[in-house]
Structure 1
Amino acid sequence: MLKISDPHREAAGEATALRLWNGHHAARLYENDGFALLIERCDPGTHLDDLVTGAALLRELWITPPAGTGLETLADVTAEWADLVETRMDTHRPGFDPGLVALGVKLLRELPASASRDVLLHGDFNPGNVLAAQREPWLAIDPKPMTGDPAYDPWPLIEQTEDDHTLADRFTIAAETLGETPHRLTAWALARTVESALWCVSEDDLDDAAEEMATARELADLL
Protein backbone atom coordinates (compact mmCIF):
# COMPACT_ATOMS: atom_id res chain seq x y z
CA MET A 1 0.00 0.00 0.00
CA LEU A 2 1.08 3.59 -0.60
CA LYS A 3 1.23 5.81 2.47
CA ILE A 4 1.70 9.55 1.96
CA SER A 5 2.15 11.67 5.08
CA ASP A 6 2.23 15.40 5.46
CA PRO A 7 5.87 16.28 6.15
CA HIS A 8 6.25 16.52 9.91
CA ARG A 9 8.83 15.77 12.54
CA GLU A 10 7.30 12.62 14.04
CA ALA A 11 7.06 10.86 10.67
CA ALA A 12 10.55 11.79 9.52
CA GLY A 13 12.13 8.57 10.78
CA GLU A 14 9.39 6.11 9.79
CA ALA A 15 11.17 4.77 6.72
CA THR A 16 14.42 4.40 8.65
CA ALA A 17 12.78 2.34 11.39
CA LEU A 18 10.89 0.09 8.96
CA ARG A 19 14.09 -0.49 7.01
CA LEU A 20 15.99 -1.40 10.19
CA TRP A 21 13.29 -3.86 11.27
CA ASN A 22 13.29 -5.32 7.75
CA GLY A 23 9.92 -7.01 8.16
CA HIS A 24 10.76 -8.51 11.56
CA HIS A 25 7.43 -8.06 13.38
CA ALA A 26 6.79 -4.88 11.39
CA ALA A 27 5.33 -4.11 7.99
CA ARG A 28 7.93 -4.28 5.24
CA LEU A 29 9.09 -1.13 3.52
CA TYR A 30 9.46 -1.67 -0.23
CA GLU A 31 10.28 1.83 -1.45
CA ASN A 32 10.19 5.36 -0.15
CA ASP A 33 10.58 8.87 -1.45
CA GLY A 34 10.61 11.28 1.45
CA PHE A 35 7.24 11.04 3.18
CA ALA A 36 5.77 8.73 0.50
CA LEU A 37 6.18 5.08 1.53
CA LEU A 38 5.28 1.89 -0.32
CA ILE A 39 4.72 -0.62 2.46
CA GLU A 40 3.32 -4.09 3.03
CA ARG A 41 -0.45 -4.34 3.34
CA CYS A 42 -1.68 -6.02 6.52
CA ASP A 43 -4.56 -8.37 5.78
CA PRO A 44 -7.09 -8.71 7.47
CA GLY A 45 -5.74 -5.68 9.32
CA THR A 46 -7.72 -6.03 12.55
CA HIS A 47 -6.31 -4.25 15.59
CA LEU A 48 -4.54 -5.97 18.46
CA ASP A 49 -6.55 -6.43 21.65
CA ASP A 50 -4.22 -8.39 23.93
CA LEU A 51 -1.66 -6.85 26.27
CA VAL A 52 0.71 -9.82 26.53
CA THR A 53 0.78 -10.39 22.77
CA GLY A 54 1.48 -6.72 22.18
CA ALA A 55 4.21 -6.59 24.81
CA ALA A 56 5.91 -9.66 23.36
CA LEU A 57 5.90 -8.09 19.89
CA LEU A 58 7.20 -4.79 21.23
CA ARG A 59 10.12 -6.53 22.87
CA GLU A 60 11.10 -8.00 19.50
CA LEU A 61 11.15 -4.51 17.98
CA TRP A 62 13.68 -3.27 20.53
CA ILE A 63 16.81 -3.86 18.49
CA THR A 64 20.11 -2.12 19.13
CA PRO A 65 20.24 0.74 16.63
CA PRO A 66 23.34 0.97 14.47
CA ALA A 67 25.41 4.12 14.52
CA GLY A 68 24.41 6.91 12.20
CA THR A 69 20.66 6.26 11.90
CA GLY A 70 19.89 9.97 12.01
CA LEU A 71 16.99 9.29 14.38
CA GLU A 72 16.33 11.65 17.26
CA THR A 73 17.32 10.53 20.73
CA LEU A 74 14.68 10.17 23.40
CA ALA A 75 16.81 12.25 25.77
CA ASP A 76 16.84 15.21 23.40
CA VAL A 77 13.11 15.00 22.71
CA THR A 78 12.01 14.70 26.33
CA ALA A 79 14.34 17.51 27.43
CA GLU A 80 12.57 19.69 24.87
CA TRP A 81 9.20 18.48 26.14
CA ALA A 82 10.16 19.35 29.72
CA ASP A 83 10.94 22.92 28.69
CA LEU A 84 7.65 23.13 26.79
CA VAL A 85 5.67 21.86 29.78
CA GLU A 86 7.14 24.58 31.97
CA THR A 87 6.55 27.25 29.33
CA ARG A 88 2.95 26.17 28.81
CA MET A 89 2.28 26.16 32.56
CA ASP A 90 3.62 29.73 32.80
CA THR A 91 1.81 30.93 29.68
CA HIS A 92 -1.60 29.31 30.10
CA ARG A 93 -1.82 28.87 33.90
CA PRO A 94 -4.31 25.96 33.71
CA GLY A 95 -4.58 25.52 37.46
CA PHE A 96 -3.04 22.04 37.55
CA ASP A 97 -1.32 20.69 40.64
CA PRO A 98 2.14 22.30 40.31
CA GLY A 99 3.81 19.51 42.27
CA LEU A 100 2.42 16.87 39.93
CA VAL A 101 3.50 18.83 36.87
CA ALA A 102 6.95 19.35 38.38
CA LEU A 103 7.25 15.61 38.95
CA GLY A 104 6.41 14.99 35.30
CA VAL A 105 9.03 17.52 34.21
CA LYS A 106 11.63 15.96 36.50
CA LEU A 107 10.98 12.52 35.06
CA LEU A 108 11.15 13.79 31.47
CA ARG A 109 14.60 15.19 32.19
CA GLU A 110 16.02 12.42 34.37
CA LEU A 111 14.65 9.09 33.15
CA PRO A 112 16.67 8.91 29.91
CA ALA A 113 19.96 9.20 31.76
CA SER A 114 19.19 6.23 34.02
CA ALA A 115 18.31 3.83 31.20
CA SER A 116 20.25 0.58 31.21
CA ARG A 117 20.36 0.46 27.39
CA ASP A 118 19.31 2.27 24.23
CA VAL A 119 17.07 0.60 21.65
CA LEU A 120 15.13 1.50 18.54
CA LEU A 121 11.81 2.77 19.89
CA HIS A 122 8.50 2.50 18.07
CA GLY A 123 7.35 5.74 19.65
CA ASP A 124 3.58 5.23 19.26
CA PHE A 125 2.95 1.61 20.18
CA ASN A 126 -0.81 1.68 20.71
CA PRO A 127 -3.13 -1.25 19.86
CA GLY A 128 -4.28 0.47 16.66
CA ASN A 129 -0.72 0.37 15.35
CA VAL A 130 -0.47 -3.43 15.58
CA LEU A 131 -2.42 -5.19 12.84
CA ALA A 132 -3.26 -8.82 12.05
CA ALA A 133 -1.46 -10.00 8.91
CA GLN A 134 -0.73 -13.05 6.77
CA ARG A 135 3.07 -13.21 6.84
CA GLU A 136 3.16 -12.95 10.63
CA PRO A 137 0.21 -13.01 13.06
CA TRP A 138 0.78 -9.36 13.98
CA LEU A 139 2.78 -6.54 12.41
CA ALA A 140 3.62 -3.12 13.79
CA ILE A 141 2.90 -0.07 11.65
CA ASP A 142 3.21 3.74 11.84
CA PRO A 143 6.30 4.14 14.04
CA LYS A 144 7.36 7.55 15.30
CA PRO A 145 10.84 6.30 16.08
CA MET A 146 13.56 7.51 18.38
CA THR A 147 16.44 5.80 20.10
CA GLY A 148 16.60 5.44 23.86
CA ASP A 149 15.13 3.82 26.96
CA PRO A 150 12.81 0.90 26.09
CA ALA A 151 10.62 1.62 29.12
CA TYR A 152 9.33 4.71 27.31
CA ASP A 153 7.44 2.68 24.70
CA PRO A 154 4.75 0.57 26.43
CA TRP A 155 2.43 3.22 27.90
CA PRO A 156 0.00 3.58 24.93
CA LEU A 157 -0.37 -0.21 24.79
CA ILE A 158 -0.99 -0.45 28.54
CA GLU A 159 -3.40 2.46 28.60
CA GLN A 160 -5.46 1.56 25.53
CA THR A 161 -5.71 -2.23 25.74
CA GLU A 162 -9.20 -3.09 26.94
CA ASP A 163 -9.29 -5.81 29.59
CA ASP A 164 -10.53 -6.41 33.14
CA HIS A 165 -7.21 -5.84 34.89
CA THR A 166 -6.52 -2.85 37.09
CA LEU A 167 -4.03 -0.31 35.83
CA ALA A 168 -1.46 -1.51 38.37
CA ASP A 169 -1.91 -5.10 37.22
CA ARG A 170 -1.47 -4.09 33.58
CA PHE A 171 1.89 -2.52 34.41
CA THR A 172 2.92 -5.70 36.19
CA ILE A 173 1.83 -7.94 33.30
CA ALA A 174 3.58 -5.79 30.72
CA ALA A 175 6.75 -5.52 32.81
CA GLU A 176 7.01 -9.29 33.18
CA THR A 177 6.75 -9.79 29.42
CA LEU A 178 9.10 -6.94 28.56
CA GLY A 179 11.80 -7.60 31.13
CA GLU A 180 11.33 -4.15 32.65
CA THR A 181 10.13 -3.02 36.09
CA PRO A 182 6.57 -1.84 36.74
CA HIS A 183 7.97 1.22 38.51
CA ARG A 184 9.96 2.38 35.50
CA LEU A 185 7.07 1.79 33.10
CA THR A 186 4.81 3.77 35.43
CA ALA A 187 7.30 6.62 35.75
CA TRP A 188 7.50 6.99 31.98
CA ALA A 189 3.72 6.83 31.73
CA LEU A 190 3.42 9.69 34.20
CA ALA A 191 6.02 11.77 32.37
CA ARG A 192 4.29 11.24 29.03
CA THR A 193 0.84 11.98 30.46
CA VAL A 194 1.88 15.29 32.00
CA GLU A 195 3.43 16.31 28.68
CA SER A 196 0.24 15.32 26.87
CA ALA A 197 -1.91 17.31 29.30
CA LEU A 198 0.05 20.50 28.71
CA TRP A 199 0.00 19.93 24.95
CA CYS A 200 -3.80 19.72 25.18
CA VAL A 201 -3.80 23.00 27.08
CA SER A 202 -1.74 24.61 24.32
CA GLU A 203 -4.38 23.40 21.84
CA ASP A 204 -7.20 24.84 24.00
CA ASP A 205 -8.53 21.32 24.65
CA LEU A 206 -9.15 21.76 28.35
CA ASP A 207 -11.46 18.76 28.81
CA ASP A 208 -8.87 16.31 27.52
CA ALA A 209 -6.18 18.12 29.49
CA ALA A 210 -8.14 17.61 32.70
CA GLU A 211 -8.61 13.92 31.89
CA GLU A 212 -4.89 13.54 31.28
CA MET A 213 -4.08 15.17 34.61
CA ALA A 214 -6.52 12.87 36.37
CA THR A 215 -4.66 9.93 34.82
CA ALA A 216 -1.36 11.48 35.88
CA ARG A 217 -2.59 11.61 39.48
CA GLU A 218 -3.57 7.94 39.29
CA LEU A 219 -0.14 7.08 37.93
CA ALA A 220 1.63 9.12 40.61
CA ASP A 221 -0.29 7.17 43.26
CA LEU A 222 1.17 3.95 41.82
CA LEU A 223 4.79 5.11 42.16
Structure 2
Amino acid sequence: MERKVLLVCLSVGFLGLLTAALGFAAEAKRIKGSQVQVTAPDMCVYPRSPAMALGLIACVSLMTAQFIINVVAGCICCRTSHASTSNWTVALVCFVVSWFTFVIAFLLLLTGAALNDQHGEEGMYFGSYCYVVKPGVFAGGAILSLASVTLGILYYLTIISEKNRTEAWGGSPHPNQGGIAMGHPQFPTQTTQEPVFVHEDTYNRRQFP
Protein backbone atom coordinates (compact mmCIF):
# COMPACT_ATOMS: atom_id res chain seq x y z
CA MET A 1 0.00 0.00 0.00
CA GLU A 2 1.33 3.42 -0.90
CA ARG A 3 2.43 5.72 1.86
CA LYS A 4 -0.12 8.39 0.94
CA VAL A 5 -2.99 5.88 0.96
CA LEU A 6 -1.88 4.51 4.32
CA LEU A 7 -1.59 8.00 5.79
CA VAL A 8 -5.06 8.99 4.59
CA CYS A 9 -6.65 5.81 5.93
CA LEU A 10 -4.96 6.17 9.32
CA SER A 11 -5.92 9.84 9.62
CA VAL A 12 -9.54 9.32 8.66
CA GLY A 13 -9.79 6.18 10.79
CA PHE A 14 -8.44 8.06 13.80
CA LEU A 15 -10.95 10.86 13.30
CA GLY A 16 -13.75 8.32 13.01
CA LEU A 17 -12.74 6.60 16.25
CA LEU A 18 -12.40 9.99 17.94
CA THR A 19 -15.89 10.96 16.80
CA ALA A 20 -17.37 7.72 18.10
CA ALA A 21 -15.55 8.02 21.43
CA LEU A 22 -16.75 11.60 21.88
CA GLY A 23 -20.28 10.58 20.96
CA PHE A 24 -20.38 7.79 23.52
CA ALA A 25 -18.83 10.09 26.12
CA ALA A 26 -21.51 12.69 25.41
CA GLU A 27 -24.14 9.97 25.78
CA ALA A 28 -22.78 9.14 29.23
CA LYS A 29 -22.54 12.80 30.29
CA ARG A 30 -25.84 14.03 28.90
CA ILE A 31 -28.35 15.64 31.24
CA LYS A 32 -30.75 13.03 32.54
CA GLY A 33 -34.25 13.51 33.83
CA SER A 34 -33.25 12.51 37.36
CA GLN A 35 -30.72 15.36 37.46
CA VAL A 36 -33.27 18.07 36.71
CA GLN A 37 -34.87 19.77 39.71
CA VAL A 38 -38.18 21.57 39.77
CA THR A 39 -38.00 24.69 41.94
CA ALA A 40 -41.27 26.31 40.96
CA PRO A 41 -44.47 25.18 39.29
CA ASP A 42 -43.10 26.21 35.89
CA MET A 43 -39.30 26.28 36.35
CA CYS A 44 -36.67 23.57 35.78
CA VAL A 45 -33.09 23.73 37.08
CA TYR A 46 -30.58 21.97 34.81
CA PRO A 47 -27.06 21.03 35.95
CA ARG A 48 -24.01 21.83 33.85
CA SER A 49 -22.92 19.08 31.50
CA PRO A 50 -19.91 18.63 29.16
CA ALA A 51 -22.17 16.83 26.67
CA MET A 52 -22.58 19.94 24.54
CA ALA A 53 -18.82 20.45 24.11
CA LEU A 54 -18.28 16.75 23.46
CA GLY A 55 -21.02 16.70 20.84
CA LEU A 56 -19.68 19.78 19.05
CA ILE A 57 -16.13 18.41 18.94
CA ALA A 58 -17.52 15.13 17.59
CA CYS A 59 -19.30 17.06 14.83
CA VAL A 60 -16.10 18.86 13.85
CA SER A 61 -14.12 15.61 13.87
CA LEU A 62 -16.69 13.83 11.70
CA MET A 63 -16.88 16.72 9.26
CA THR A 64 -13.08 16.81 8.97
CA ALA A 65 -12.92 13.08 8.20
CA GLN A 66 -15.59 13.40 5.51
CA PHE A 67 -13.81 16.40 4.01
CA ILE A 68 -10.47 14.58 3.79
CA ILE A 69 -11.97 11.52 2.12
CA ASN A 70 -13.83 13.52 -0.51
CA VAL A 71 -10.84 15.76 -1.27
CA VAL A 72 -8.31 12.95 -1.77
CA ALA A 73 -10.72 10.57 -3.53
CA GLY A 74 -12.62 13.14 -5.54
CA CYS A 75 -16.27 13.16 -6.50
CA ILE A 76 -17.53 9.98 -8.10
CA CYS A 77 -19.60 12.07 -10.52
CA CYS A 78 -16.38 12.82 -12.44
CA ARG A 79 -15.60 9.12 -12.97
CA THR A 80 -18.43 8.09 -15.28
CA SER A 81 -15.94 6.59 -17.76
CA HIS A 82 -15.59 3.56 -15.47
CA ALA A 83 -19.33 3.06 -14.98
CA SER A 84 -19.27 -0.43 -16.45
CA THR A 85 -16.77 -1.88 -13.96
CA SER A 86 -17.66 -3.70 -10.75
CA ASN A 87 -15.29 -1.52 -8.71
CA TRP A 88 -17.18 1.57 -9.84
CA THR A 89 -20.45 0.03 -8.62
CA VAL A 90 -18.95 -0.74 -5.20
CA ALA A 91 -17.51 2.77 -5.00
CA LEU A 92 -20.87 4.31 -5.89
CA VAL A 93 -22.70 2.37 -3.18
CA CYS A 94 -20.08 3.26 -0.57
CA PHE A 95 -20.12 6.91 -1.62
CA VAL A 96 -23.90 7.29 -1.39
CA VAL A 97 -24.33 5.36 1.87
CA SER A 98 -21.35 7.15 3.42
CA TRP A 99 -22.91 10.54 2.75
CA PHE A 100 -26.32 9.35 3.95
CA THR A 101 -24.95 8.09 7.27
CA PHE A 102 -22.78 11.19 7.60
CA VAL A 103 -25.75 13.54 7.37
CA ILE A 104 -27.79 11.60 9.93
CA ALA A 105 -24.86 11.22 12.34
CA PHE A 106 -23.98 14.90 12.06
CA LEU A 107 -27.57 15.97 12.75
CA LEU A 108 -27.88 13.65 15.74
CA LEU A 109 -24.66 14.87 17.32
CA LEU A 110 -25.43 18.52 16.61
CA THR A 111 -29.01 18.28 17.89
CA GLY A 112 -27.92 16.48 21.05
CA ALA A 113 -25.25 19.09 21.70
CA ALA A 114 -27.68 21.97 21.18
CA LEU A 115 -30.30 20.49 23.49
CA ASN A 116 -27.70 19.91 26.22
CA ASP A 117 -26.88 23.60 26.28
CA GLN A 118 -29.49 24.12 28.97
CA HIS A 119 -28.17 24.98 32.42
CA GLY A 120 -29.57 26.92 35.32
CA GLU A 121 -33.24 27.77 35.51
CA GLU A 122 -35.33 27.22 32.42
CA GLY A 123 -39.03 27.44 31.85
CA MET A 124 -41.02 24.23 31.52
CA TYR A 125 -42.11 23.07 28.09
CA PHE A 126 -45.87 23.05 27.57
CA GLY A 127 -46.30 24.26 31.14
CA SER A 128 -45.36 21.03 32.94
CA TYR A 129 -42.47 19.33 31.16
CA CYS A 130 -38.70 19.61 31.70
CA TYR A 131 -37.11 18.59 28.43
CA VAL A 132 -33.99 16.41 28.30
CA VAL A 133 -32.30 14.64 25.40
CA LYS A 134 -33.66 11.16 24.92
CA PRO A 135 -31.31 8.21 25.46
CA GLY A 136 -29.53 6.99 22.35
CA VAL A 137 -29.21 10.27 20.44
CA PHE A 138 -25.46 10.63 20.96
CA ALA A 139 -24.90 6.88 20.79
CA GLY A 140 -26.76 6.67 17.49
CA GLY A 141 -24.65 9.50 16.11
CA ALA A 142 -21.49 7.73 17.26
CA ILE A 143 -22.43 4.45 15.58
CA LEU A 144 -23.46 6.13 12.34
CA SER A 145 -20.27 8.18 12.31
CA LEU A 146 -18.24 4.96 12.48
CA ALA A 147 -20.27 3.55 9.60
CA SER A 148 -19.80 6.73 7.56
CA VAL A 149 -16.04 6.82 8.05
CA THR A 150 -15.66 3.09 7.33
CA LEU A 151 -17.61 3.39 4.09
CA GLY A 152 -15.64 6.50 3.17
CA ILE A 153 -12.35 4.64 3.57
CA LEU A 154 -13.71 1.73 1.53
CA TYR A 155 -14.79 4.18 -1.18
CA TYR A 156 -11.32 5.71 -1.25
CA LEU A 157 -9.57 2.32 -1.46
CA THR A 158 -11.90 1.20 -4.25
CA ILE A 159 -11.18 4.35 -6.25
CA ILE A 160 -7.43 3.88 -5.79
CA SER A 161 -7.66 0.23 -6.81
CA GLU A 162 -9.59 1.12 -9.96
CA LYS A 163 -7.10 3.85 -10.80
CA ASN A 164 -4.12 1.50 -10.43
CA ARG A 165 -5.83 -1.16 -12.52
CA THR A 166 -6.56 1.34 -15.27
CA GLU A 167 -2.97 2.58 -15.32
CA ALA A 168 -1.71 -1.01 -15.45
CA TRP A 169 -3.73 -1.57 -18.64
CA GLY A 170 -2.39 1.51 -20.33
CA GLY A 171 -5.17 3.91 -19.42
CA SER A 172 -8.00 1.83 -20.87
CA PRO A 173 -10.93 1.17 -18.50
CA HIS A 174 -11.55 -2.18 -20.24
CA PRO A 175 -8.74 -4.73 -19.86
CA ASN A 176 -9.56 -6.58 -23.08
CA GLN A 177 -8.99 -3.42 -25.07
CA GLY A 178 -5.81 -2.22 -23.39
CA GLY A 179 -3.25 -3.68 -25.80
CA ILE A 180 -5.07 -3.55 -29.13
CA ALA A 181 -3.07 -1.85 -31.84
CA MET A 182 -5.01 -0.16 -34.57
CA GLY A 183 -3.77 -0.62 -38.13
CA HIS A 184 -4.81 -0.12 -41.71
CA PRO A 185 -5.67 -2.95 -44.11
CA GLN A 186 -2.91 -3.80 -46.54
CA PHE A 187 -3.76 -4.08 -50.24
CA PRO A 188 -1.35 -5.00 -53.04
CA THR A 189 -0.09 -1.99 -54.89
CA GLN A 190 -1.47 -1.80 -58.39
CA THR A 191 0.67 -0.06 -60.98
CA THR A 192 -1.08 1.53 -63.92
CA GLN A 193 0.68 2.61 -67.08
CA GLU A 194 -0.23 6.05 -68.26
CA PRO A 195 -1.40 6.27 -71.92
CA VAL A 196 0.99 7.67 -74.53
CA PHE A 197 -0.44 10.34 -76.78
CA VAL A 198 0.79 10.51 -80.42
CA HIS A 199 0.31 13.57 -82.55
CA GLU A 200 -2.04 13.15 -85.53
CA ASP A 201 0.56 14.28 -88.11
CA THR A 202 3.01 11.65 -87.00
CA TYR A 203 0.39 8.96 -87.42
CA ASN A 204 -0.47 10.18 -90.93
CA ARG A 205 3.17 10.22 -92.00
CA ARG A 206 3.55 6.63 -90.91
CA GLN A 207 0.51 5.61 -92.92
CA PHE A 208 1.50 7.50 -96.10
CA PRO A 209 5.26 7.82 -96.52
The TM-score, its normalising length taken from structure 2, stands at 0.29
Identify which of structures 1 and 2 has the higher relative contact order when contacts are C-alpha pairs closer than 8 Å and 6+ apart. Answer: 2
Structure number, greater radius of gyration: 2
Higher strand fraction (1 or 2): 1
Q: TM-score, normalised by structure 1?
A: 0.27
Which structure's residues are more often helix, by fraction?
A: 2
